[in-house]
Amino acid sequence: MSLVNYATREITCKIVYYGPGRSGKTTNLHYIYGQVPSDRKGQMVSLATQTDRTLFFDFLPLDLGTISGFTTRFQLYTVPGQVYYQATRKLVLQGADGVVFVADSQSRQLAENIESFQDLHANLADHGVDARGVPLVIQYNKQDLPGDLILPVAELEDQLNFRGVPSYSADALHGPGVFETLRGISELVLRRLSPTTAGGR
Amino acid sequence: MADDIRALSEALAVDPSSVAFVALAEALRKRGDLDVAARVAAKGVERHPSLVDGHDVRARIALDRQALDEAAASWESVLRLVPDHRDAQKGLGFICFQQGRFAEAAAYLAAVAEQDPDDASVAAALDTVRAAAMAGPRSSAAVTAPVADERERSTTMIPAVEEPAPITASGVAPFARRATWSRADAAILFDDLLTDVPGAAMHLDEAGLVLAGRYLTEDGRDLAAEVGAQLSGVSDEATRAMRHFGFGAWTQIVFETEVASVAMAPVGQGLTLVAAARTVPLGFLRRLLDRAADRIRAWVGE
Amino acid sequence: MRMSVAASWVEAPLKQFVDDARVHYAVLLHPSGQVLGQYGFARSVDVMTACALAAAIDASSRALGMLVEGKAFPSLHYAGRERQIFLAEVPAPGGRLLLLAVFDWESSLGLLQLYHEEFRARVGEMAPPIAHNAPAIAADFEKELNKNLAVMFGRA
Amino acid sequence: MATTPFAPLLQSIIRHRGVTGVLLVGEDDGLVVDSVLQVGVNGAAFAALTASLYRKARRSAEAAGLGRTGYFELDAVDGRVLAAGKNELVFIVVAEARINVGLLRVELLKAVERLP
């Protein structure tokens, strides 16, 4: 549910980074946090365990500036990837305007990717949301790892992207693909508020 | 007023050498932002040392902050620039009176009266000062010259908890009961009600600023502004509570502390407040509050 | 007053609550963490953080309440050394909302509870049944989006 | 009805003519510890608001150098509220306007003295 304030011309959108444990969701937010000037961001909040795994969520508020005369703000969340944090994932997903699915490109993580992707759809359904109507992009992270450890993007596309949503290969630790992913989901989320597509989904 | 202040602030920001600081400081003073007003005025006077209005507004702000010496210094600056400046002479007359320097007070006020013999308020103030001069020095003079005789101390002394001391009543009223009061009587408006009571009385405006009366400590300091600011908050709380109590408007609050009993009542747009030593019966304190309320109504012309 | 609202109907009840309860901060939010109105915060990004955390507290305490008591806790109170936090549910025609308030000794838990009740009633009267998101963004917004993202990422 | 060890204290006050409620309240949180109220008296509101008033008066008086506040009274057109505190508790009496304030004040201060 994007919040649109017509009086003050402000828009606030919630974007959730979803994916299996250790796929790089928090790393995406850390990279963004590191790149964005301080006047455009709030404090990054991480509710993490002692081993640096996300316990509840990471949260990063961003001030995107003015778009079509609206002051536009994004709230970026991550969910904990580990299977046993299912309830928390569901809670964080509540009210999301867009989802970035961060897949781990390593071959041995394929099953976890598929399971997490299914989990995403199930949780959206539990919130009464048709997954096909939610802006979604997929990021194939860790594409910088040696070729023998990862699956090629084409194969990952076959396995995960049956909806044909925008997808990006990335190395979230060093930055490539992070910006493009955020740009991609931003565009989809904001497009829903534009006159040509509003109510169309 | 907020818009005026914003506009003046912006004007001053654009041109810091502008004399808009006078109007801005005055607007802030009226709004009760005395610290900010004082800073604005001080900076302005620094830039414009020969601007009479700058010194004048600075003096009035200092007076509102109960900084009598600072106010006097500013008005003395005004008089150096314009020797017959009436407001400065009036102000200095008031301050001298407050500080027990009755002869000097009378001299300043006489100078004003000479310029404008038709100003009834100045004439009344001059009467008050002369009557006080004839009655002898008041306790407030003890600030600079300690009074040896305990009986000569003010009637309006409440001991602080830290330094408990016996409260004494003076038999000397600074002036007799009168039917009319002038602006110059503000500080001493309730003194004659307190001749037989070890206590203090004051009236606060709706912003919690002292409009009349005083609260003298044993050593002669007037804590009316501090005490008033603290206690006026109780009145705000009461107003909020009444919406839920279904008791109609509140008429009086009384509370007893270790050393004093305090009673307050809403009068007009402000709050009248009396405090007395615990030895004063509560019933008498309520009567005193009623009389003080009547006095303030007469003074503001309600 | 440092107040901002995302929906105009929020302003009057929130202002009344702040005036009555004398709190330092007050935020009305959706359980998803989206702010509907706030008083006290200077930066919008700080409001968003407070909302995210409040929504998390609400979500976890509801789950905890269901676990230990079979029902969700209607409100939560945390008393710190200087400041206290009050988080409570506000039913609205369009669904449940949350009120987060931060206060000190100038107010009290009793006062917060009292004025929360009044706030609930006012929100119940004033909130619209469903929030409608009408078209807002111009069709060709991509250029501005790209430019702003580029500025954010230092690529401008 | 009062249900705590404070019940006898509350009962000793409620029996006076014109008294419509007696409450024992936490001074800091304004929550009711125990109370005896006539029908229609909003105990939670009297508790929270009177505790707040009492606290404000106490703090203001201390800040003004007047020491600890013992007794507090608010008079209104149609009623009165009396309060006195001890050990972070405030004893509150809600009454009609026409009561014997002197007697109630003494009874209230006695009851407060008996608080633990």
Q: How far apart are CA D54 and CA D69, in angstroms?
A: 8
Phi, psi of A20 (to 5 degrees): -70, 165
Q: pLDDT digits over B98-109, tens only?
A: 777 777 888 888
C110 with D55: Cβ contact below 8 A: no
Given a contact cutoff of 8 angstroms between Cβ atoms, the answer to whether A149 and A119 are in contact is: no
> What CATH code is assigned to B139-300?
3.30.450.30
> Does the beta-carbon distance from D29 to C108 stay under 8 Å?
yes
D96: in domain? yes
Helix (H) or strand (E) holding A17: strand A10-18
- Could you give the number of structural domains in chain C? 1
pLDDT value for B80 = 82
Q: What's the pLDDT band for B133 if we cut at 50, 70, 90?
A: low
Structural domain boundaries, residue C51:
3-152
Contact B230 D63 (CB under 8 A): yes
Average pLDDT estimate for C76-83 = 92
CA distance A132 to A163: 8
Instruction: Tell which B residues from 218 to 257 touch D, by Cβ distance under 8 Å.
Output: 223, 226-227, 230-231, 233-234, 237-238, 240-242, 244-257
Binning pLDDT at 50, 70 and 90, where does residue C42 land?
confident
Q: How far is C81 from chain D (nearest CA, A)?
A: 12
Contact between B37 and B60 (Cβ < 8 Å):
no
Interface present between A and D (3 or more CB pairs within 8 Å): no
Beta carbons of B230 and D97 less than 8 Å apart: no
Q: Are D25 and D51 in contact (CB under 8 A)?
A: yes
Q: What domain range includes position A87? A: 3-191
- Interchain touch C–A (≥3 Cβ pairs closer than 8 Å): yes
**In this model, does residue B147 exceed pLDDT 70?**
no
Q: Are D77 and D4 in contact (CB under 8 A)?
A: no
CA-CA distance, B251 to B283, in Å (whole number)?
15
Q: Please report which confidence band the pLDDT of residue C130 belongs to, taking 50, 70 and 90 as the band edges.
A: low
CATH topology of domain B2-132: 1.25.40
D-B interface (Cβ pairs under 8 Å ≥ 3):
yes
Tokens describing residue D62:
């201390």
CA B219 to chain centre: 18
pLDDT of residue B162: 43
> Which residue of chain A has the CA closest to C142?
A187
D76, D45, D81, D96: which is closest to B249 by C-alpha? D76
pLDDT band of B156, cuts 50, 70, 90: very low
Query: What is the sign of the dihedral through the CA atoms of A148, A153, A155 and A161?
Result: positive
What pLDDT, on a 0 to 100 scale, did the predictor assign at position A178? 96
Percent of chain B with pLDDT over 70: 80
Task: Give chain D positions within 8 Å (CB) of B246.
Answer: 78-79
CA atoms within 13 A on the CB side of B49: 2
Packing angle, helices D7-14 and D101-113, rounded to 10: 170
Whether residue A200 is contained in a domain is answered as no
| Maximum average pLDDT range among A16-20, A34-38, B208-212, B235-239 | A16-20
Domain that holds residue D75: 7-113
Q: What is the pLDDT of residues B9-35, one digit of tens each?
A: 777 777 777 788 888 888 888 888 888
Q: Across the interface, which of C105, C107, C113 has its CB nearest the CB of D44?
A: C113
* Residues in C touching A56 (Cβ below 8 Å): 56, 60
Is the pLDDT at B122 greater than 80, yes or no?
A: no
DSSP string, chain C: --EEESSHHHHHHHHHHHHHHT-SEEEEE-TTS-EEEEES-S-HHHHHHHHHHHHHHHHHHHHHHHHHHSS--SEEEEE-SS-EEEEEEEEETTEEEEEEEEE-TTS-HHHHHHHHHHHHHHHHHHS-SS------S-TT-HHHHHHHHHHHTT--
What average pLDDT does this structure show over C129-133?
Answer: 60
Which residues does D77 contact at the CB level (< 8 Å), separation at least 6? B247, B248, B249, B251, D97
Nearest-CA neighbor of B217 among B259, B186, B185? Answer: B259
- Cross-strand partners of A18: A101
Residue D1 lies in a domain: no
**In angstroms, rounded to a whole number, what is the distance separating the alpha carbons of residues D26 and D33?**
7
CA dist B225 and B223 (Å) reads 6
- Residues of chain C with Cβ-Cβ distance to A35 below 8 Å are 152-154
How many domains in chain D?
1
- In 3D, which of C19, C100, D88, D109 has the Cα closest to residue B237? C19
Q: Which residues of C touch D60 (CB under 8 A)?
A: none
Using an 8 Å Cβ cutoff, are D40 and D50 in contact?
A: no
What six digits make up the tokens of A195?
């006159």
Residue C133 binned pLDDT confidence (cut-offs 50, 70, 90): low
The reply to whether residue D66 touches residue B258, judged by beta carbons under 8 angstroms, is: yes
Partner A contacted by C72 (CB < 8 A): no
Flag if B254 and D49 touch (Cβ within 8 Å). no
Is residue A57 within 8 A of residue A79, CB to CB? The reply is yes
Nearest-CA neighbor of A94 among C64, C100, C63, C125? C63
Range list for CATH 3.30.450.30 in chain B:
139-300
Q: Which residue of C has its CA nearest to D57?
A: C106
Q: Would you mind telling me the total number of residues written for chain B in this entry?
A: 302
Q: Residue B203 phi/psi, 5° resolution?
A: -125, 135
Q: Do D66 and B251 touch (CB under 8 A)?
A: no
Cα–Cα distances in angstroms (integers) from residue C133 to residues A1, A62, A129, A199, in the given order = 8, 21, 16, 9
pLDDT of B178 higher than 50 = no
In chain D, which residue's Cα lies nearest the Cα of B217?
A: D65
B223/D64 Cβ within 8 A: yes
CATH number of the domain where residue D28 is located: 3.30.450.30
Segment C34-57 mean pLDDT: 87
Q: What is the per-residue pLDDT for B231?
A: 84
Query: Which residue out of C9, C61, C137 would a mutagenesis test of the A interface target, given it has the greatest number of A Cβ atoms within 10 Å?
Result: C137
Q: Looking at per-residue confidence, does D41 or D5 come out higher?
A: D41
Q: Count Cβ–Cβ pairs < 8 Å, chain C vs chain D.
A: 35
CA–CA gap between residue A133 and residue A190 (Å, rounded): 14
The pTM of this model reads: 0.66
Residue A196 lies in a domain: no
E strands present in chain D: 19-26, 32-37, 69-76, 79-86, 89-95
d(CA B65, CA A143): 70
Summarised one tens digit per residue, pLDDT across range A137-183 is 999 999 999 999 999 999 999 999 988 999 999 999 999 999 999 99
**Which of the residue ranges A86-100, B141-155, C140-154, D14-28 would you say has the lowest mean pLDDT?**
B141-155
CB contacts of B226 in chain D (<8 Å) are 64
| Record: contact B162-D65, CB cut-off 8 A | yes
- Number of domains present in the structure of chain A: 1
Q: Identify which of C105, C107, C110 has the shortest CB distance to residue D31.
A: C110
**CA nearest to C21 within chain D:** D49
Is the CB of residue B22 less than 8 Å from the CB of residue B54?
Answer: yes
Cβ contact, residue pair D74, B226, below 8 Å: no
User: Which segments of chain B are extended strands (E)?
Assistant: 199-204, 210-214, 250-257, 260-267, 270-277
From the list C52, C60, C133, the residue facing A4 with the nearest CB is: C133
Flag if A3 and C53 touch (Cβ within 8 Å): no
According to DSSP, residue B216 is labeled: B
- Residue C132: predicted pLDDT: 56
**What is the chain B residue with the closest CA to D54?**
B234
- For position A81, which CATH number holds? 3.40.50.300
Q: Do A141 and A170 form a contact (C-beta atoms < 8 A)?
A: yes
pLDDT at D53 over 90: yes
